[in-house]
């Protein structure tokens, strides 16, 4: 019977099923109270100062992009393993060409040997869906892109985007649904960033040379400034302190490093299957044109 429903309705129904599962699944639900990481004490601004603002109470942060400049921020601390999370509301309306990057990186420049875990939100023309791209870098090498569509409009409201990172898996979550899992296969030639502590960063920039339909759609500057909004940053993880290997838990806990967090839970696996069936639009592991010989980890 469900087979006759329009796919959009089906999507909504399925969304409800797993949202409900999620409410009862508090395994990873250890979010610190909102606002416990203030911008002033925990972040530095990158880019134009007048392109950053906050709500009067300081809880919501805004990055804006216009023809002259973009903007970004980065944590002062580095972390190695943990649960990293933030709520984002993306640029609405005609945002084609605009990219909001939200990521972890071992280096604040673009060091040639950096490790990186990326969420990138690629804007689109009014009414056309956003694409979310994830990527993993190790030692400066990336090329591990996946692209997903979302099951909601990310410009209408705040949604939570999180990374769970330990020595066994890197999982990218959207509203606690795992959209991508990257596993450590434990082999010597493994492509799994685990050694270098990372900062958390975000930025908004013009990428109309590649982002929308491979660069065909240009940013329409009459709609500037383009603004992305942020709140509720949370790092529940191991804060890195030199000298190596000092590591201090930000919350006194380390559930993110424990056995239960080494793989997806059963209900997360169900959600993951749903994501694979409905939302994946690009997977580098299936791109034989680009990789005549697929990267090693694709055969896990
Ligand atoms: C924008 O919308 C078009 C049409 O729906 C879609 O094909 C494309 O994947 C979307 N995303 C980007 C980044 O262009
Ligand atoms: C840019 O947006 C303006 C205002 O909506 C519109 O009039 C114009 O045609 C757009 N330009 C392009 C190149 O699409």
Phi and psi (nearest 5°) for 11? -60, -45
Domain segments of the chain as ranges: 7-299
- Rg of the chain taking only CA atoms, in angstroms: 19
Phi and psi (nearest 5°) for 63? -115, 135
For a ligand 1 pocket test, name from 121, 127, 131, 215 the mutation site with the most ligand atoms within 8 angstroms of its C-beta.
131
**Ligand 2 atom 3: the closest Cα is on which residue?**
222
Instruction: Count how many residues are written for the chain.
Output: 300
Q: 300 pLDDT band (50/70/90 cuts)? A: low
The binding-site residues of ligand 1, defined as CB within 6 angstroms of any ligand atom, are 122, 124, 128-129, 131, 211-213
| Distances in whole angstroms, Cα of residue 93 to Cα of each of 67, 119, 128, 154, 223 | 17, 20, 9, 11, 8
- C-alpha 189/C-alpha 213 separation (Å) is 34
Cβ neighbours, 10 Å, residue 98: 28
Atom of ligand 2 nearest to the CA of 223: 2
Owner of token pair 């990789």 = 291
Average the pLDDT over 82-98 and give the result. Answer: 97
- C-alpha 89/C-alpha 153 separation (Å) is 9
Which ligand approaches the C-alpha of residue 150 most closely?
Answer: 1
Atom of ligand 1 nearest to the CA of 128: 2
Atom of ligand 1 nearest to the CA of 123: 13
For 94-104, what is each residue's pLDDT tens digit? Answer: 999 999 999 99
Owner of token pair 């958390």 = 200
Answer yes or no: is the C-beta of 222 below 6 A from any ligand 2 atom. yes
**Ligand 1 atom 3: the closest Cα is on which residue?**
128
Atom of ligand 1 nearest to the CA of 217: 14
Name 252's Cβ contacts closer than 8 Å, sequence gap at least 6: none
Answer yes or no: is the C-beta of 299 below 6 A from any ligand 2 atom. no
Answer yes or no: is the C-beta of 24 below 6 A from any ligand 2 atom. no
- Give the residue with greater pLDDT, 100 vs 33: 100
Q: Which fold has domain 7-299?
A: Jelly Rolls (2.60.120)
Residue 162 token pair = 């999180």
Which ligand approaches the C-alpha of residue 96 most closely?
Answer: 1
Cβ neighbours, 10 Å, residue 87: 19
Q: Considering the chain, what percentage of its residues have pLDDT values greater than 90?
A: 75
- Give the residue with greater pLDDT, 197 vs 20: 197
For 233-283, what is each residue's pLDDT tens digit? Answer: 999 999 998 876 677 888 888 999 999 999 999 999 999 999 999 999 999
Residue 18 has pLDDT above 50, yes or no: no
Residue 286's closest CA among 272, 275, 276? 276
- C-alpha 96/C-alpha 100 separation (Å) is 11
For 120-145, what is each residue's pLDDT tens digit? Answer: 999 999 999 999 999 999 999 999 99
Q: What pLDDT, on the 0 to 100 scale, is given for residue 130? A: 96
Can you give the pTM of this predicted structure?
A: 0.88
The Å distance, Cα 170 to ligand 2 centre, comes to 41
- Give the residue with greater pLDDT, 13 vs 262: 262
Which ligand approaches the C-alpha of residue 97 most closely?
Answer: 1
């Amino acid at each position: 019977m469900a087979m006759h429903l329009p796919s959009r309705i089906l999507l909504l129904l399925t969304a409800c099923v797993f949202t409900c599962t999620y409410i009862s699944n508090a395994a990873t639900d250890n979010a610190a109270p909102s606002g416990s990481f203030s911008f002033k004490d925990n972040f530095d601004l990158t880019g134009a100062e007048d392109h950053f603002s906050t709500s009067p109470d300081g809880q919501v942060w805004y990055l804006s992009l216009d023809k002259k400049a973009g903007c970004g921020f980065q944590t002062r601390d580095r972390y190695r393993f943990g649960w990293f999370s933030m709520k984002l509301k993306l640029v609405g309306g005609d945002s084609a060409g605009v990219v909001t990057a939200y990521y972890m990186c071992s280096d604040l420049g673009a060091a040639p040997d950096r490790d990186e875990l990326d969420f990138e939100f690629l804007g689109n023309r009014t009414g056309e869906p956003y694409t979310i791209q994830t990527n993993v870098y190790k030692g400066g090498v990336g090329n591990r892109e996946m692209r997903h569509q979302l099951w909601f409009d990310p410009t209408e409201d705040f949604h939570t985007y999180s990374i769970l990172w330990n020595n066994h898996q890197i999982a990218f979550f959207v509203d606690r649904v795992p959209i991508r899992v990257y596993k450590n296969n434990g082999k010597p030639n493994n492509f799994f960033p685990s050694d270098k502590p990372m900062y958390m960063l975000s930025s908004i920039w013009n990428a109309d040379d590649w982002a929308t339909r491979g660069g065909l759609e240009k940013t329409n500057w009459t709609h500037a400034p383009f603004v992305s909004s942020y709140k509720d940053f949370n790092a529940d993880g191991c804060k890195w302190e030199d000298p190596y290997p000092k590591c201090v838990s930000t919350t006194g806990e380390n559930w993110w490093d424990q056995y239960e967090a080494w793989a997806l839970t059963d209900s997360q696996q169900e959600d993951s299957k749903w994501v694979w069936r409905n939302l994946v639009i690009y997977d580098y592991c299936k791109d034989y044109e680009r990789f005549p010989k697929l990267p090693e980890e694709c055969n896990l």
